[in-house]
Structure 1
Amino acid sequence: MQRISKFVILTVLLAVSSLGMAQQKGITFTGTVVDASNSEPLPYTVVAIRNSETDELTTSVTTDIEGAFTVSSPISKVYVEIVLMGYEDVQILPSVQSGTQNLGTIQMTASSQNLNEVEIVAERSSVEFQMDKRVFNVGSDLSTSGMGAMDVLNNVPSVNVDIEGQVSLRGNSGVQIMINGKPSVLSDDPSNALGTITADMIERIEVITNPSAKYQAEGTSGILNIVLKKEEKKGMNGSVSLNTGYPNNHSVGASLNYRTENFNFFTQLGAGYRTRPNYNESISQNSSDSLTIQSSGEDYRNEEFYNITLGTDYYINDLNVITLSGNFAYEIESQPSETNFEIYDPKGNLNSAYSRIEETSALNPKYRYDLQYSKQFEDHEDHQLIFSTLGHFFGKDQSSEFFNSYEVGTANFSDQRTATNFYQTDYTFKLDYTDPLSELFTLETGAMYEINDVGNDYSVRNLKGSVWEIDSSLTNDFTYIQKVLAGYVTGAYETESWGVKVGVRVENTELTTVLENTGDNNYQNYSNLFPSLHTHYKWGNGFSLQAGYSKRIYRPRLWNLNPFFNIRNNYNVRTGNPELQPEFADSYELTGILVRNDYSINASLYYLYTTDVVEYVTRYENGVNLTMPINIGTRQKVGVEVNGKWTVTDWFDLTGDFNYGYFTRDADYQSQNFDYSSDQWDGKLTTKFALPAEFDLEITTRYNSSYETIQGRVSGFAFFNAGVRKKLWNGKLVMNLGVQDIFATRVRETTINQPNYYMYNFSQRGTFLTFGISYGFGKGEAMSYSGGGRH
């Protein structure tokens, strides 16, 4: 606890020192930007606030679809600079020194000039803070160019994605992933589903560690909301791109947009092929007879994908908009692998040696539709009603063949075949209403109904002589239907310097699972209240404090509940648990934020208390490691997180992220005590350089510490990414070169050391190299689209 105390003291000192610096009041600007020739609004125009004494950038925003903006500065000695490619820049001196100034309608004149400031603001990822979330605005991060959404998530402060694609927030699992503010199946299997979203399609990622009652209560450690880009400039705009990489990462894509007075049409097309290799090793040993099983091998996940997105926004009038979009994607998978096994007796003699060869193929159709109606009321721009309905389907028709080739000893396992027919259909209906009852008070209320219908028909056949016989002990048809009905209300009171937001959400969950081959079924129906409370206070010198509380839930998913067997490795078998119950968590957080002209820093203290924690527990039976999730006890975690950015010079800046947590586990299972305490930390540092001849260089290093689990330990690791970019023709043509995991040090090692057995697992992805070139036409720059589709 001494380490925790030191972090608390440092955070308090940061807050106290910042409070002592308060000398001047801030200022807020509002206004609307239009084209001088036709008075049409100019969305996505950069509105920058600069220090009038040093010309350094203080903060910036972009205008919305109507060309409107609101931007605040922590200091008053500033001027406003408005920048849009293809237009003359506009500079405005404020007429007031504090408070709020409405700049009215600002006209911009078309020009052929391009501005360096646009590139600086638009291409660097940045973080902004709101009362109940942090917003990571995704720039053109060089190391992730041409890569997938999982790689972008690894660049987001507080987020970590391990080598197996599991997403955690501040070191905690149970993360709810949303797309454009709507529920997503990505929470079930993010390593698979996120593959269809590429880095260049993402506008921003909202990190919500303490969500208000407006958001779904799903996710004990918080919510990640991925907001996708949608171009809305007038006229025809778009880009085309070509990417290649090693191992195979080839794609071609096009993004087109046409905007008229009442319609906005958008489409994306993509196709590609990629390979994801994975090397793995494992050792298991029975302590009673010292029987040792060693395995090593490499498997590949090869994907050929095609997709198309079509959509339109229909502007009925200035206050009513209907949006309809749809996406269809089709993936062809193959997963060849070979694993070599060696079995040793207690004296170290080799009893058996054989290779297990897998040939897996799958067809994955996916489609999605999204219909939304938005009504804005005349009395206030934030007074609005939004109704949306979302449908999503994901299917997998997969077959596998496993052949065993023995070099030493006799056959212990027969050749096998498996067949999987999987489907997941989701429907979500949402209604959200926001009413600013006054300049200071805002009311939000809404409701949601979500249906998840999932099925997995899984069969195993063993080769007996020349006949493939069904294995009834491993074959099953499992269905899972979950329905969630929710309603919420929040109220917010906010002045220029202080605000508070309180809310409550109620959710009723109905879950039915059926194991068809045995007739076993499990029915659960429960209702829960989820309160939330957030407050913040701002000082005029750029320092503010935020505090929040929320209650969360993590419901078991299909793969946690389905008791099917994975026979890829007959010695390491993972099953589900139909009796699994949901986790519940109470989250508390205090954050201090300091913003200066050339640097910013924020530090958070947090406490997370989780009950009915889901843990994967392994037991050893007859030479086989059986792993199953169970609810086991409580978890308390106290931590500190620090994020910062420092613009050292015009050509060099640093961004850092550090998280430390100390946790205790109280758990008993089958008369065995699993109580223990441990800590876990990770850090990340990104350096960016603006080089001569309009080259940019970016280097990122990250370290994840080792940490204890309920039965063993996971080792730490460090890895490095780098990227370089070159722009031509005022940004119309962009070339990117990126390297992920330069030294192939991003690995995962787990060790379980119990009284009766020992188990070790190692996996490694290796280095990825990508090169991309893209060309943009219309009013925008090139968007390095990597061939994925909207998901």
Structure 2
Amino acid sequence: MPKKLKTLLALAFLFTSLINFAQESSPVQKVKVSGKVIEKVSKQPLEYATITFINAKNPKALAGGITNAKGEYSIDVNPGIYNIKIEFISFKLSEIKEKSIQQNINLGTTALDEDAAQLNEVVIRAEKTTVEIKLDKKVYNVGSDLMVKGGTVSDVLDNIPSVSVDVEGNVSLRGNDNVKILIDGKPSNAINITDALRLIPADAIEKVEVITNPSARYDAEGGGGLLNIILKKGKNLGLNGTFIASTGYPENYGLSGTLNYKSKNFNLFTNQGYNYRSSPGNMITNTEYLNSDNSIRNYVDENRDNDRFSNGYNGNFGIELYIDQSTSWTNTFNYRKNNGDNTDNVFQKYYNANYVYDYTRTRINEEDSKSENVEFATNFTKNFKKDGHKLTIDGSFSSNEDKNNALITDTATNSSAVLFDKTINNQTQNRNLLQADYVLPLGKGSQFEAGYRGDFSKLVTDYQVQNDGVIDPNFTNTLEYKEKVNAFYTQYGMKVNKFSALLGLRFEDSNIEINQLATNDFNTKKYNNFFPSAFLTYEISDKSSASISYSRRIQRPRGRMINPFSNLSSNINIFMGNPDLDPAFSDAIDLGYIKRWAKLTFNTSLYVNKTSGAFQFARRESGDFVNGTPIIISSPINLATEYRTGFEFTLNYSPYKWWKLNGNFNFFRNQTQGDFTYIDFNDKEVIQNFDNTTTSWFARVTSKVNLPYKIDWQTNATYNGPQNNAQGRNLGNFSANLAFSKDVMKDKGTVSFNISDVFNSRKRISETNLPGILNSYSEMQWRVRQFNLSFTYRFNKPANEKEKPKKNQNENGDGGDFQG
């Protein structure tokens, strides 16, 4: 039996044993405590308010529960004397001290006041998603979003305001794709983060933190901001869980579940998911090749059909131990495995200068991929006597292996020769992360914070190309990438009346090694930098506030960006990484404003981002030809300066109880200044001017309607506006999704049906114009329209459950939130 399988079985046995032990040791005789929670002003019931029973002599949470849709609760507890806390997000805490409970009792109606004193935090209570807007981030608690049932993390991200996911799965934030993605507060240990996001089931996500302008507490990586994906760990007392089965067309099925058991001494949790997905796609590229005088040399029309299949498992086991009332220790084991097949059929039709057909070339790329990831993560949290005084220590240790083998068969109608190219791309990554954060309240309205993070990784990429069994040295190499980043930060927060400030400084020391072992080309880059941040907020009223923030960021090139040996799926359009790329640095300023009305919430921001050494992709002739057709190489380069300015707003509107609307609009202007100079294959200096100014916009509208018979109907529509670049432009694109759901089995089950890309229109459409080289038009559709049907079953959980995080509980190892 494989060693890893033995480990999984052992953990499963431990999980089952602990649950049985805890259930057997539970007391039998209990009494029932009931009551109701309402909003004081409107007298409306508060659904999902939290009721916690704490031993009056020993401050441990012994029992608890949440209210139903009518604001009512009924909780079984052992007879005793309790301090009872009744809480709801953005409302003042109500507490009953030393209440003696010896028999069944009704505590009556508790009315909660809204907490206008919370520092710069506004919470929108909505059925779809709860939005918490804080001083330095927005938190989207994933609720009953029908669009993502049976989907993945990528599907979730694509439904969040300010975030978009393109046809290839690349994530951007407010139109900027320099985004750092964290999972549970730590950099993802996946070699290919895009593929990893497609493996994690949507139901495993508790919330997503969107940080457009991160403070000094966060990793300085990511010029466009951070996305922190928090996975579910389970908070409810007792045994509870959720299971989801899904199927779809094109062929797509999966099974996932979350399960946890929580007692007064520990919380045992697991997320498990298996899926099989087919993702057929296609691409066309029609090219006019030009002579130096811009006359047409010849034409090539290229069509690609992609048949992708993958089956993957993603799971974790974890236990949170409550050592005492103020100390917890959490250990989590994560395992992810995926096998995939990708057949890429490339058909190239060649025409002469008069567009008279010449011949057809066919390239069939059959790729087999395997990936395996193992991670152990640990977190130690110590809360001191003073509220907010906390120390957290985190560690993460992982290894990841990706193997990709491809066989390319090349034939042409004007030749009897059959050419075989074989590519081998094996990648191995080891990553270790150590982190410590300390938060110290200094008095009323002020707080000090400091911390350290050490991130150490090594990635080895072994890439090989064989032509008819002979190794091609032009496309074969072993790239070794080593990264050591040590970071220290400190920040101070204060609140005086309606004014608050958060000032921070981060120092990062980077040691980067990029070694091309086959060519003995060794390159070491060492640099250290300071990254200041500042956040100022003024609370205009309890319904509105304004803020201004500044931060400095870094974008380090990695992976495909620096590897000169990447792929050979097309023999005339080749991508090559640039190992000489330097990091890009960004300075970001953000002006924000939020206003709430009874049924409407309006949130807007104006932002400016200046990036030095920004990455751009340049296309040039290689000097090599295939039957007279020039081979075009695309590579990333550093340019002088990029200025990005934009305006964004988000609206949450609930005209009726049964109808909720969410709209997000982002307009941005991007100005690039810089020249690219290189020596071409004729030993001539070529200067490409990349000075370019472009504007574009993005809009998304989501509507959710509660129909009779417990049927929900959700629709969203997205439009990405056209955008020019220095070598062409991307055309505008519209797409839409549709979903329905119905609760069944007394609300313990939910049946959902959704259509992703209703009009089959989600494509990347672009035009490229290089004078004296080529003009081309391309359409790329990574995944065609999808139909999904899913069934969700919950036990000991209400439908559309929302939970309030524990006060001052650190879930991601990124320090505490300054609450004044």
The 5-angstrom pairing of residues 159-558 of structure 1 reads 159-185=163-189, 189-288=192-291, 289-380=296-387, 382-406=388-412, 408-410=413-415, 414-463=419-468, 468-495=469-496, 497-558=498-559
Match for residue 758 of structure 1 among 769, 775, 782: 775
Structure 1 contact 402–416 (Cα < 8 Å) conserved: yes
Structure 1 contact 400–418 (Cα < 8 Å) conserved: yes
**Residue 41 (structure 1) shift:** 13
Q: Which one scores higher on RCO, CA 8 angstroms, separation ≥ 6?
A: 1
The residue that corresponds to 2:584 in the other structure is 583
Question: Which whole-Å CA distance do the structure 2 matches of 1:620 and 1:235 have between them?
Answer: 65
**Residue 38 (structure 1) shift:** 7.3
Question: Which whole-Å CA distance do the structure 1 matches of 2:439 and 2:330 have between them?
Answer: 19
Structure 1 contact 775–782 (Cα < 8 Å) conserved: no
Structure 1 contact 776–782 (Cα < 8 Å) conserved: no
Structure 1 contact 589–604 (Cα < 8 Å) conserved: yes
The residue that corresponds to 2:59 in the other structure is none
Question: Which whole-Å CA distance do the structure 1 matches of 2:396 and 2:37 have between them?
Answer: 34
**Residue 332 (structure 1) shift:** 1.2
Identity over aligned pairs, percent: 30
**Residue 546 (structure 1) shift:** 1.3
Aligned partner of 2:94: which letter?
L
**Residue 82 (structure 1) shift:** 7.2
Question: Which whole-Å CA distance do the structure 2 matches of 1:554 and 1:86 have between them?
Answer: 49
Question: Which whole-Å CA distance do the structure 2 matches of 1:651 and 1:161 have between them?
Answer: 29
The residue that corresponds to 1:716 in the other structure is 732
**Residue 716 (structure 1) shift:** 1.0
Structure 1 contact 46–82 (Cα < 8 Å) conserved: no
Change (3 A) 1:548 1:86: same
Alignment RMSD, CA only? 3.0
Match for residue 72 of structure 2 among 77, 84, 88: 88
Question: Which whole-Å CA distance do the structure 2 matches of 1:281 and 1:327 have between them?
Answer: 39
The residue that corresponds to 1:94 in the other structure is none
The residue that corresponds to 2:620 in the other structure is 619
Aligned partner of 2:709: which letter?
A
**What secondary structure sits across from 1:693 in the alignment?**
coil
The residue that corresponds to 1:103 in the other structure is 94
Q: Deviations over 1:380-410 (max 9, x none)?
A: 2x2110000012222112211111233x212
Structure 1 unaligned blocks of 5 or more: 1-34, 68-80, 91-98, 112-119, 785-789
Say yes or no: does 1:768 pair with 2:792: no
Change (3 A) 1:653 1:632: same
Question: Which whole-Å CA distance do the structure 2 matches of 1:192 and 1:736 have between them?
Answer: 25
Question: Which whole-Å CA distance do the structure 2 matches of 1:39 and 1:104 have between them?
Answer: 20
Structure 2 contact 48–67 (Cα < 8 Å) conserved: no
Structure 1 contact 615–710 (Cα < 8 Å) conserved: no
The residue that corresponds to 1:52 in the other structure is 42
Say yes or no: does 1:695 pair with 2:711: yes
**What secondary structure sits across from 1:689 in the alignment?**
strand
Match for residue 685 of structure 1 among 701, 704, 712: 701
Structure 2 unaligned blocks of 5 or more: 1-26, 56-64, 75-89, 107-123, 678-686, 803-811, 813-820
Q: Deviations over 1:564-609 (max 9, x none)?
A: 0411111111010010001100000111100112110011111111
Question: Which whole-Å CA distance do the structure 1 matches of 2:31 and 2:402 have between them?
Answer: 51
**What secondary structure sits across from 2:218 in the alignment?**
coil
Question: Which whole-Å CA distance do the structure 2 matches of 1:752 and 1:192 have between them?
Answer: 27
Match for residue 736 of structure 1 among 752, 770, 788: 752
Question: Which whole-Å CA distance do the structure 2 matches of 1:255 and 1:511 have between them?
Answer: 39
Say yes or no: does 1:133 pair with 2:137: yes
Q: Deviations over 1:689-711 (max 9, x none)?
A: 00000000000001000101221
Match for residue 632 of structure 1 among 628, 639, 643: 639
Higher mean displacement: 662-671 or 567-576: 662-671
Q: Deviations over 1:740-761 (max 9, x none)?
A: 1100111101211111211222
Structure 1 contact 41–66 (Cα < 8 Å) conserved: no
Structure 1 contact 666–676 (Cα < 8 Å) conserved: yes
TM superposition score normalised by structure 1: 0.85
Aligned partner of 1:445: which letter?
A
**Residue 272 (structure 1) shift:** 2.3
Question: Which whole-Å CA distance do the structure 2 matches of 1:285 and 1:645 have between them?
Answer: 47
Change (3 A) 1:352 1:594: same
**What secondary structure sits across from 1:151 in the alignment?**
helix
Structure 1 contact 652–688 (Cα < 8 Å) conserved: yes
Say yes or no: does 1:124 pair with 2:128: yes
**Residue 102 (structure 1) shift:** 5.1
The residue that corresponds to 1:19 in the other structure is none
Question: Which whole-Å CA distance do the structure 1 matches of 2:53 and 2:729 have between them?
Answer: 50
Aligned partner of 2:67: which letter?
V
**Residue 496 (structure 1) shift:** 5.7
Question: Which whole-Å CA distance do the structure 2 matches of 1:124 and 1:495 have between them?
Answer: 35
Say yes or no: does 1:653 pair with 2:660: yes
**What secondary structure sits across from 2:461 in the alignment?**
strand
Question: Which whole-Å CA distance do the structure 2 matches of 1:39 and 1:428 have between them?
Answer: 47
Question: Which whole-Å CA distance do the structure 1 matches of 2:252 and 2:36 have between them?
Answer: 34
Change (3 A) 1:102 1:737: closer
Question: Which whole-Å CA distance do the structure 1 matches of 2:619 and 2:284 have between them?
Answer: 17
Change (3 A) 1:86 1:365: farther
Q: Deviations over 1:17-51 (max 9, x none)?
A: xxxxxxxxxxxxxxxxxx9x979999xx9987464
Question: Which whole-Å CA distance do the structure 2 matches of 1:472 and 1:522 have between them?
Answer: 20
Question: Which whole-Å CA distance do the structure 1 matches of 2:427 and 2:352 have between them?
Answer: 40
Structure 1 contact 320–374 (Cα < 8 Å) conserved: yes
Structure 1 contact 48–61 (Cα < 8 Å) conserved: no
Question: Which whole-Å CA distance do the structure 1 matches of 2:54 and 2:232 have between them?
Answer: 17
Change (3 A) 1:137 1:353: same
Change (3 A) 1:193 1:110: farther
**What secondary structure sits across from 1:126 in the alignment?**
strand
Say yes or no: does 1:665 pair with 2:656: no
Question: Which whole-Å CA distance do the structure 1 matches of 2:373 and 2:757 have between them?
Answer: 30
**What secondary structure sits across from 1:332 in the alignment?**
strand
Q: Deviations over 1:514-536 (max 9, x none)?
A: 11110001110000000000011
Structure 1 contact 240–253 (Cα < 8 Å) conserved: yes
Question: Which whole-Å CA distance do the structure 1 matches of 2:32 and 2:466 have between them?
Answer: 66
**What secondary structure sits across from 2:203 in the alignment?**
helix
Aligned partner of 2:173: which letter?
L
**Residue 105 (structure 1) shift:** 3.6
Change (3 A) 1:280 1:320: same
Higher mean displacement: 703-712 or 264-273: 264-273
Aligned partner of 2:775: which letter?
Y
Q: Deviations over 1:193-238 (max 9, x none)?
A: 1112121111111111111100010000100111111112222112
Aligned length: 712
TM superposition score normalised by structure 2: 0.82
**Residue 316 (structure 1) shift:** 0.5
Structure 1 contact 732–782 (Cα < 8 Å) conserved: no
**Residue 541 (structure 1) shift:** 4.6
Question: Which whole-Å CA distance do the structure 2 matches of 1:641 and 1:735 have between them?
Answer: 35
Change (3 A) 1:66 1:278: farther
Aligned partner of 1:772: which letter?
S
**What secondary structure sits across from 2:766 in the alignment?**
strand
Question: Which whole-Å CA distance do the structure 2 matches of 1:100 and 1:160 have between them?
Answer: 32
**What secondary structure sits across from 1:473 in the alignment?**
helix
